[in-house]
Structure 1
Amino acid sequence: MRRSSALQACIAHQQSALTILHQCLQDQPHSGPDQPASGEGQAAPGPVGIGPNVSLTEPRSQPGSSTQQRARSSAPSSERRTILQVARESRLTRLIGLTSELLNLEQNSLYQLQETHFHLESKLSVELRNICSRMATREDCLRLDGDLKEIEQCLRDIVNQLLLSLSSNNSRSHLQAIDVLKGLFQKFLNI
């Protein structure tokens, strides 16, 4: 049936996009502000009997003292995640969640409605996959935020397309799917 193949194509493209988004999230640096950056917290080579990260010129300090706090805060900032990186990762995580919810809805509720006519184009799902692929290969971090906005807009467009397609039928199953889609659309406001 043509309608089920269109839905299957959309699902396949969105699953591919979701896989890429998961990979992008795994590739994010995960050294948080409270976690030691690479190399920090390791024993520095020094004379026997002197503890790690203790200088010969400074008095030995107690744990939690200002000397140790200064040593931690002087770690190179490039090894720690910035606020922008944390925000970007948070946004990516939310987009992954929304994509997963959309796929779940399509695979379960909408797939059962395939016998009734609803218009579905795979163009938006292909575009979603392409944006995710481009983002995964991008080295310019400044452009990643633009990619995340495009992914969000593409997901909104897919949800809108589904809402418009389902709104022509007032059956109970269509109305339930519409309610779920409206709830999903509301979540975009929190991104």
Structure 2
Amino acid sequence: MQRAVQTCIAHQQCALAILHQCLQEQRNLSPEQPSPGQTANNRLKGGCSTRERVLSSAPSSGRRTILQVARESRLTRMIGLTSELLSLEQNSLSQLQEPHFHVDCKLSSELRNLCHRMATRGDCLQLDADLKAIEQCLRDIVHQLVTSLPSESSGSHSQTAAVLKTLFTRFLEI
């Protein structure tokens, strides 16, 4: 059990780092197109960076679009929720034992892969679909954790369940 939770935490930390990188690139957008030398420095493995994708679709007026601001806001909220989830897993869920609690690493692995795909995708049109898929994956992880908690009502279990349920309802606000 400890190993499964630690593996999930590692996947989610990787996903969180990628989300932070994407947010940083969103915030550093400039109205000018990068030079060819700059684009080579902004590449991630397997494709172009988020910065390149958004820059290539940015208007030349020097202003950020409403879509860019909305993406930044959405990324910020996902980062916050992912950070809370990680904190909860590291502080509470890693203490629970296997007979009482089961976690599957498949969703955490999928989250990491979705974030990586979003960061390396060359198609700007798929960015919003990627964000939606990442949001759904996070929602599924929290739901899995809520349903996996033991039904016994010890103090730490009920407190952890309450925090998870609150986190789950916050996803509805995104």
* Superposition TM-score, scaled by structure 1 size: 0.73
2:158 pairs with 1:178: no
Q: Shift of residue 134 of structure 1?
A: 0.2
Identity %: 69
Partner of 1:51: none
| Residue 113 in structure 1 maps to residue 96 in structure 2 | yes
Gaps of 5+ in 2: 33-58
2:92 is paired with a residue of what secondary structure?
Answer: helix
1:100 alignment counterpart: 83
Q: Is the 8 A contact 1:31 1:80 kept in 2?
A: no
Paired positions, count: 148
RMSD: 1.8
Pairwise CA distance, 1:29: 4.7
CA–CA separation in structure 2 for the residues paired with 1:85 and 1:135: 15
1:76 to 60, 71, 83: 60
Higher helix share goes to which structure?
2
Once the two structures are TM-superposed, the CA of residue 133 in structure 1 deviates from its matched residue by: 0.2
Q: Which runs of 4+ in 1 moved over 3 A?
A: 29-32
1:57 match:
none
Please give the TM-score of this superposition, normalised by the length of structure 2: 0.79
Question: Are 2:10 and 1:7 aligned?
Answer: no
Match of 1:143 among 126, 151, 167: 126
Moved more, 112-121 or 137-146: 112-121
Cα deviation 1:119-158 (Å, max 9, x = unaligned): 1000000000000000000122211100111111001100
Cα distance in 1 for partners of 2:124, 2:60 equals: 19
Q: Which residue of 2 aligns with 1:153?
A: 136
Partner-residue secondary structure (3-state), 2:26 = coil
Cα contact 2:27–2:72 (8 A) shared by 1: no
Offset, 1:159: 0.5
| Inter-partner Cα distance in structure 2 for 1:146 and 1:31 | 21
Q: What's the secondary structure of 1:27's corresponding residue? A: helix
2:100, 2:150 within 8 Å by CA — same for their partners in 1?
no
Q: In the aligned structure 1, how far is the partner of 2:111 from the partner of 2:160?
A: 22
Based on CA coordinates, which of the two structures has the bigger radius of gyration? 1
Instruction: Please say if residues 139 and 171 of structure 2, whose CA atoms lie closer than 8 Å, have aligned partners that are also in contact.
Output: yes
Q: Deviations over 1:82-111 (max 9, x none)?
A: 000100110011000000000000000111
| Equivalences for residues 10-21 of structure 1 within 5 A | 10-21=8-19
Q: State the distance in 1 between where 2:12 and 2:60 align.
A: 39
